[in-house]
Chains A and B, each alone.
Chain A
Amino acid sequence: MPKRNDIKKILLIGSGPIIISQACEFDYSGTQACKALREEGYEVVLINSNPATIMTDPEMADRTYIEPITPEAVEKIIARERPDALLPTLGGQTGLNTAVALAEAGVLKKYNVEMIGASLEVIHKAEDREKFRYAMEKIGLRVPKSGFARSLDDVLKIADEIGFPIIVRASFTLGGTGSGVAYNREELMEIAKGGLDASMISEVMIEESVLGWKEYELEVMRDKANNVVIICSIENFDAMGVHTGESITVAPAQTLTDREYQNMRDAAIAIMREIGVETGGSNVQFAIHPQTGEMIVVEMNPRVSRSSALASKATGFPIAKIAAKLAVGYTLDEIPNDITRETMASFEPTIDYCVVKIPRWTFEKFPEAEDFLTTSMKSVGETMAIGRTFKESLQKAIRSLEIGRFALGHALPEDLKDKKDFLKSKLIKPNSLRLFYIAAALQNGMSIDELYQLTKIDPWFLHQLKEIVDAETELKNSAPSVELLRAAKKMGFADRALASFWKMTELEIREWRAREKIIPVYKLVDTCAAEFEAYTPYYYSTYEAENETRPSTKKKVAIIGGGPNRIGQGIEFDYCCVHASFALREEGVESIMINSNPETVSTDYDTSDKLFFEPVTLEDVLHILQTEKPEGVIAQFGGQTPLNLAKGLEAAGIKIMGTSPDAIDRAENRDRFQEIVRKLNLNQPDNDTARDVEKALAAAERIGYPVLVRPSYVLGGRSMEIVYDAETLKTFMAKALLVSPEHPILIDKFLEDAIEIDVDAISDGTTTIVAGIMEHIEEAGIHSGDSACILPPMTISEPLLELIEKQTKMLAAELNVVGLMNIQYAIKDGKLYVLEVNPRASRTVPFVSKAIGVPLAKLATKVMLGKSLKELGFIEAPEPKHISVKEAVFPFNRFPNVDVLLGPEMKSTGEVMGIDHSFGLAFAKSQMAAGFKMPTKGTIFISVHDYHKDKIVSVAKSFQNMGFKIIATKGTAKYLKEQGIEAELVFKVSEGRPHIVDYIKNGDVQMVINTSMGRKSSRDALHIRRGALIYNILYTTTIAGARALCEAIAAIKSEDWQVCSLQEYQNK
């Protein structure tokens, strides 16, 4: 069937900010879809609120709307653009939910927009529990039995039908509180009672337990002609009970016979047809009883997903791209397979390697949260590794995580020896380090049987781990030999691990291997296990006989990516790497991408000329560079990961493009940086460094509290804190020295109530252009990644702006910056301080690029290739007429017991952008994009720290003038009343009822303003903020935030806000 000619314009909905469970994979799928649809001549209208996406680059769509992904905003876009069709299946759950809301509200009908890919009915059938169960029963498949209960009587009734063990899940709680497994009636009553109490709506779901069953996923595609193919099978290492996004997963399935696999395949195909997914990709999850083989359908997603991105990278089959083409009417046999060219997309990929994905968690960022994995996701990223054996892939994946481990049993805490009971507890309850606890248990001699009983991880996997652990023991107990070295490399041991086993240095191992010619070869990911010739150069390394790379003689440059997403290093850096690749292409230079993150656009096989899906470690990167011999490498775009490699690469004779690693060191090394500050006569908050507690205390005493303390050489403000007294400083030092023992601790005078400024600049070595000056909304002291900011700045005087520009240029010249540079300044009492200089791509590069309409990362790449800014025509940063606001998005709702307070350590996972003609509207849009509902009437709750009381008065007054009712806790209410504001008193939770949380639960509060000082906050304040979080009520924890929200609400009350595309803004 040819493509449809009755539709011309297609609306695509993106997935918005990066949040836990919805990350860059939807930029990857959306970008593919945009490209695929435009390739077919369709006009593409796109909405996404996330500026750090490639899909929102103005070249990717005909009209790009960086607007909140809400039904309201999308309706405005539809009214303006009048698209013929809406493709809802490529923007994650956000895209799907928004499309459903629009369809249900009659908007699509009103504007005659057809939903393609999946209809409303299909989405309901797949997502509605009851409808799905009914559909499955119809085709002879089974789903776990379940029911909802609002009383203990209900619970027992449902339990009788289901039978034990039973899972109780409290509805409407965060992060799995009030849930548990019951093995008998007594336990059930106890857990259910707790669950009913914990649930905000007093409801629990009672479900048949399939805990411990084996878990599988199939990625399925269907076309209009009812052809269905399976793209990839995935087996979860962790048994049922751990969300698949939290599981280590392996492709293809390892422990199913063909008979069992085909039964699962039959079921998946039947499900696709029964649910009626018309075209595109879906994912079906199954549970298999480990002793009987009974199969249960867990769920299906009628859209592309995280797993489909993984499956695409694991097989080389571009699911999202094909899904987009199927949605416009093509059939699978009409779409060529890009990789083989001679075959079509109508086949099932077969692979000749093993793929392992490991999630990346950041529990260290949320010390209050328990490290416990369950059916709700907590990981912020993932890494994937490809090897020829499971053992090799697993060990590659482990070192790709960048958690200081270079082999399964490497760098385990020593004190696990003989701690059997402790280990057992860590094995029973899934957690982010369980893989390593298994290694420790194996080292301690625990049997596979016992491990299986504790973990329910299939013995096949446990045996693989045992082989690795045994090999480690053998290595440690043997004298180094070439034979052992070769065998160890085949099993995936990194040089760093071998060096530690054999008391050698990493360099010694590397040189030894080079002498013995023990170096990896590169093999192709080709969708067909070498049955056909492959044209797409997508490689992975392994230690085998034949090398398939064919280094070209062209001029080429390698780009080092950022590895797995984590807080502080996410999609923004991948965006820059992708732009580097695009720029190289524009300049006729061959691009070589190195990265290990399967979610990203950078690891799409057609982003760069060559893709190496490899761990981003010195060893792995050096191998590639020594094989490919590029002219140089770009290390300043991928965040801290490649920067950390820069010195080692340079030492190995690799040319680092752009700013030298030494300049980066001069900026990051406290003492060296101070020399620069002195030389250029700049201001810096008084500061010092310390390597031990005593020195730190003395330094803080001299500088004067409060002080800002942090380890050097970290990203995202890891472990950064504002410290108000000596006691807290002692505790901090103890922790910080653990995080970064090789580097000193930095101690700065904390500038209270200062305005923070972020500057992104670009330099070619001679000319420096300040591309964007951003004013933070929140005061200095809150991590720049967590603070909202505005471009152009609003309250900074012209002379100060000129000074900022001047100092930026001085710093760029002094550091000899070639490429991008980011500087953080603070202004206090009219004085400008330099806080930090980073001569590399920053998190704000995509935001600034979109705000001013200049692709900074591309320009920087060309500058690194030797072009001058003048040649590139970038001699002055445009001054946009519109206002752009960046707002951070946080994962607090994933972590029970974590406070939502902001501080110097970064906590946000993503960001959104709001654009409009006024600050108020731009800020309002950023809040809506971040998921908040902006109230235009109702009640505002205020409870602020004494220190903030005078500052909140004007805000409260404005809200009152706008017609809002003000309620406040005792102290605040008293203060406001004294200032002539009618504030109604409301109890704190500890004061009696009805208290503020009752108000929140009853929907009587539309906005919460609640501030604290420092890290410590009372239980009462915590209750309030958690309440606001669970009910998704607009809240702020800072005075500056309250002021901004006040202005935003005033703006949306006074005018009907509009939407406008990036293309229009940039042509203005």
Chain B
Amino acid sequence: MPLLNKAPKALLVLEDGNFFEGFAFAGSGETMGEVVFNTGMTGYQEVITDPSYKGQIVAMTYPLVGNYGINAEDMESSGIHLEGFIVKEYQPNPSNWRMRQSLKSFLEEHGKIGIEGIDTRALTRRLRLSGAMKGIISTETKNISELLEKVRAYPGLVGRDLVREVSCQKSYLWKKGAPSSNKIPSKKPGKKLRVVVLDCGVKYNILRLLEKNGCEVIVVPAFSTGAKILSYHPDGVLLSNGPGDPAALPYIVETSRALIGKLPIFGICLGHQIIGQAIGGYTSKLKFGHHGINQPVKNMDTGRIEITSQNHGFVVVPESVKNKAKKTFDNLNDATSEGMKMPLVMSVQYHPEASPGPHDTDYLFIQFVQMLREERRKAA
């Protein structure tokens, strides 16, 4: 690599008029989204394949990205959903025994732009001070005011349903760590516990962990109705993570209302926000969100501190669900609510499936499965 970067120049313009100059290490063109920062020092492959980042441009605060390439196992979905990827310095010579391809080729395969040479710390500080902002990346023009006009016209995330764009369109069975083409069983489950996952943009590791804990996993589109879900005779339902504004998803709130109280439900991230709304609460937008893998939460039952993986820009306003659900987890950094429970319902704002992130809270999947067993026993 020559000392002077020969890659096409790229511009990042934020809606407040701030701009950053860099180079496109992958792809070219123009892309818009809400710019957020992620503080994880590992896990870029999981981040870019996480459907929750739909509509967002992600800047990694750790400056060196691409170090270990891309491998076959660490996919969190089948593709890349974020709108653009920003790093300080792209690493063109990855090294890891599981590596299959470079980050650059992976991004390009999926038509995404990756830019480098950005003072990502300055960008992060800007986002921390001003809050998450809309941004545009372009390799096409150097005209900042033109880009600024475009980005200001871009609708942003609030009020937008992005779930439809990332959810599966057809139900499928998850088997042996991958979507299976096998027919979905419609008859009552046998010995195995059956979980229907409402796919709002589900991360594969949620499915992997359910399967690992002995569940038969059926993934259904986000627009599935309560009746449709119940027609699979599941032991429980998991409302998955997903992108965008939870307030823009009344149909999913409706679906979950039809399920609450009928069978065990586990909500993760967006799923947690859906449940919050279904029981009468509402959500609000955080200034710059939690995107990282070092967020400490306190388990209110045990008092134990757990380090969690988080990725959300919205939260359930605690007062709005105060008398309806019990708070189960607290964020130790900013005291926001990280989880709640009610009879047959458990939900967390963070990501117990990690990927990327610590495994401190994967016991929640065991708890969920225990809840399913318990219910089955009661029913028997």
CB of B156 to closest CB in A, whole Å = 22
Tell whether A257 pairs with B98 under 8 Å between CB atoms, given A347-B307, A389-B89.
yes
Q: How far is the CA of A253 from the CA of B40 in the complex (A)?
A: 12
The reply on A918 being an interface residue by CB < 8 A is no
* CB neighbours of A467 from chain B (8 A): 1
Q: Are B3 and A343 in contact (CB under 8 A)?
A: no
* CB neighbours of A344 from chain B (8 A): 296, 332-333
- Most chain A beta carbons < 10 A, residue from B2, B121, B122: B121
- Most chain A beta carbons < 10 A, residue from B43, B91, B93, B305: B305
Q: How far is the CA of A532 from the CA of B295 in the complex (A)?
A: 12
* CB neighbours of A546 from chain B (8 A): 119, 121-122, 125
The reply on A160 being an interface residue by CB < 8 A is no
CB of A190 to closest CB in B, whole Å = 33
Of A257, A354, A475, which is within 8 A of B74 by CB?
Answer: A257
Q: Are A258 and B40 in contact (CB under 8 A)?
A: yes
Indicate with 1 or 0, residue by residue over B39-83, a CB within 8 angstroms of chain A CB atoms. Answer: 111110110000000000000011110011001011000000000
CB-CB nearest in chain A for B5: A487
Indicate with 1 or 0, residue by residue over B87-99, a CB within 8 angstroms of chain A CB atoms. Answer: 0110101111110
Q: Which positions 197-228 of chain A face chain B at CB distance < 8 Å?
A: 225-227
Indicate with 1 or 0, residue by residue over A64-78, a CB within 8 angstroms of chain B CB atoms. Answer: 000000000000000
* CB neighbours of B2 from chain A (8 A): 470-471, 474
The reply on A1055 being an interface residue by CB < 8 A is no
Q: How far is the CA of A291 from the CA of B95 in the complex (A)?
A: 11
Tell whether A225 pairs with B4 under 8 Å between CB atoms, given A528-B39, A530-B124.
no
Q: Which positions 421-467 of chain A face chain B at CB distance < 8 Å?
A: 458-460, 463, 467
* CB neighbours of B106 from chain A (8 A): none
CB-CB nearest in chain A for B297: A346
Indicate with 1 or 0, residue by residue over A327-350, a CB within 8 angstroms of chain B CB atoms. Answer: 000011100000000111011111
Q: How far is the CA of A377 from the CA of B366 in the complex (A)?
A: 46
Q: Are B3 and A266 in contact (CB under 8 A)?
A: no
CB of B11 to closest CB in A, whole Å = 13
Q: How far is the CA of A484 from the CA of B304 in the complex (A)?
A: 53
Q: Which positions 1-59 of chain B face chain A at CB distance < 8 Å?
A: 1-5, 20, 37, 39-43, 45-46
The reply on A834 being an interface residue by CB < 8 A is no
Tell whether A229 pairs with B307 under 8 Å between CB atoms, given A262-B354, A389-B88, A529-B61.
yes
Q: Which positions 282-315 of chain B face chain A at CB distance < 8 Å?
A: 292-296, 298, 303-305, 307
CB of A232 to closest CB in B, whole Å = 10
Q: Which positions 496-544 of chain A face chain B at CB distance < 8 Å?
A: 523, 528-533, 544
CB-CB nearest in chain B for A223: B305
* CB neighbours of A229 from chain B (8 A): 296, 305, 307
Tell whether A333 pairs with B128 under 8 Å between CB atoms, given A255-B67, A530-B61.
no
CB of B123 to closest CB in A, whole Å = 9
* CB neighbours of A545 from chain B (8 A): 20, 119, 122
The reply on A352 being an interface residue by CB < 8 A is yes
Tell whether A259 pairs with B73 under 8 Å between CB atoms, given A487-B3, A530-B128.
yes
* CB neighbours of A934 from chain B (8 A): none
Of B43, B62, B91, B122, which is within 8 A of A544 by CB?
Answer: B122
Q: How far is the CA of A849 from the CA of B43 in the complex (A)?
A: 52
Q: Are B93 and A257 in contact (CB under 8 A)?
A: no
Q: Are A350 and B292 in contact (CB under 8 A)?
A: yes
* CB neighbours of A798 from chain B (8 A): none
The reply on B120 being an interface residue by CB < 8 A is yes
Stretch at the interface among B210-218, B230-238, B344-352, B356-364: B356-364
Q: Are B64 and A389 in contact (CB under 8 A)?
A: yes
The reply on B102 being an interface residue by CB < 8 A is no
CB of B60 to closest CB in A, whole Å = 9
CB of A529 to closest CB in B, whole Å = 4
CB of B129 to closest CB in A, whole Å = 9
Tell whether A293 pairs with B97 under 8 Å between CB atoms, given A257-B45, A474-B2.
yes
Q: How far is the CA of A766 from the CA of B68 in the complex (A)?
A: 64
CB-CB nearest in chain A for B292: A350
Q: Are B332 and A544 in contact (CB under 8 A)?
A: no
* CB neighbours of A475 from chain B (8 A): 3
CB of A212 to closest CB in B, whole Å = 13
* CB neighbours of A261 from chain B (8 A): 42
CB of A271 to closest CB in B, whole Å = 15
CB of B205 to closest CB in A, whole Å = 10
Q: Are A258 and B296 in contact (CB under 8 A)?
A: no
* CB neighbours of A265 from chain B (8 A): 358-359
Q: Are B332 and A343 in contact (CB under 8 A)?
A: yes
The reply on B355 being an interface residue by CB < 8 A is yes
* CB neighbours of A548 from chain B (8 A): 125
Q: Are A258 and B46 in contact (CB under 8 A)?
A: yes
Instruction: Tell me what chain B mostly uses at the interface: helix, strand, loop, or mixed.
Output: loop
Q: How far is the CA of A818 from the CA of B240 in the complex (A)?
A: 71
Q: How large is the interface on B (under 10, 10 to 19, 20 to 34, 35 or more residues)?
A: 35 or more
The reply on A252 being an interface residue by CB < 8 A is yes
Q: How far is the CA of A234 from the CA of B292 in the complex (A)?
A: 19
The reply on A633 being an interface residue by CB < 8 A is no
Q: How far is the CA of A218 from the CA of B333 in the complex (A)?
A: 23
CB of B120 to closest CB in A, whole Å = 7
Q: How far is the CA of A459 from the CA of B101 in the complex (A)?
A: 15
Residues of chain A at interface, number, CB under 8 A: 66
CB-CB nearest in chain B for A290: B97
* CB neighbours of B61 from chain A (8 A): 350, 352, 529-531
Of A350, A351, A460, which is within 8 A of B67 by CB?
Answer: A460
CB of B291 to closest CB in A, whole Å = 9
Q: Are B74 and A459 in contact (CB under 8 A)?
A: no
CB-CB nearest in chain B for A543: B119
The reply on A612 being an interface residue by CB < 8 A is no
The reply on A292 being an interface residue by CB < 8 A is yes
The reply on A740 being an interface residue by CB < 8 A is no
Tell whether A333 pairs with B298 under 8 Å between CB atoms, given A293-B98, A388-B89.
yes
Q: Are A531 and B305 in contact (CB under 8 A)?
A: no
Q: Are B64 and A390 in contact (CB under 8 A)?
A: yes
Q: Are B39 and A255 in contact (CB under 8 A)?
A: no
Q: How far is the CA of A475 from the CA of B2 in the complex (A)?
A: 10
Tell whether A474 pairs with B298 under 8 Å between CB atoms, given A258-B356, A350-B39, A530-B124.
no
Q: Are B305 and A332 in contact (CB under 8 A)?
A: yes
CB-CB nearest in chain A for B117: A490
Tell whether A353 pairs with B63 under 8 Å between CB atoms, given A258-B74, A347-B307, A532-B333.
yes
Q: How far is the CA of A531 from the CA of B60 in the complex (A)?
A: 12
Q: Are A531 and B124 in contact (CB under 8 A)?
A: yes
Indicate with 1 or 0, residue by residue over B114-154, a CB within 8 angstroms of chain A CB atoms. Answer: 00000111101100100000000000000000000000000
The reply on A488 being an interface residue by CB < 8 A is yes
Q: Are B95 and A347 in contact (CB under 8 A)?
A: no
Q: Are B333 and A343 in contact (CB under 8 A)?
A: yes
Q: How far is the CA of A257 from the CA of B73 in the complex (A)?
A: 11
* CB neighbours of A6 from chain B (8 A): none
Q: Are A350 and B68 in contact (CB under 8 A)?
A: no
The reply on A727 being an interface residue by CB < 8 A is no
CB of B143 to closest CB in A, whole Å = 20
* CB neighbours of B63 from chain A (8 A): 352-354, 388-389
CB of A266 to closest CB in B, whole Å = 6
Q: Which A residues lie at the B interface, using CB under 8 A?
A: 225-227, 229, 233, 252-262, 265-266, 289-293, 331-333, 342-344, 346-354, 388-390, 458-460, 463, 467, 470-471, 474-475, 483-484, 487-488, 491, 523, 528-533, 544-546, 548
25 contacts between A and B (CB under 8 A): A225-B305, A233-B41, A255-B67, A255-B96, A256-B96, A257-B98, A258-B40, A258-B355, A259-B74, A262-B358, A342-B334, A348-B296, A350-B62, A352-B39, A353-B63, A388-B89, A459-B93, A463-B93, A483-B4, A491-B3, A529-B39, A529-B124, A530-B37, A530-B124, A533-B128
Closest 4 CB pairs of A and B: A258-B43, A546-B122, A258-B356, A463-B93
Known: A259-B74, A344-B332, A548-B125. 14 other contacts (CB 8 A): A226-B304, A257-B96, A257-B98, A260-B96, A333-B332, A343-B332, A347-B307, A347-B333, A388-B89, A389-B64, A488-B3, A491-B3, A528-B39, A530-B128
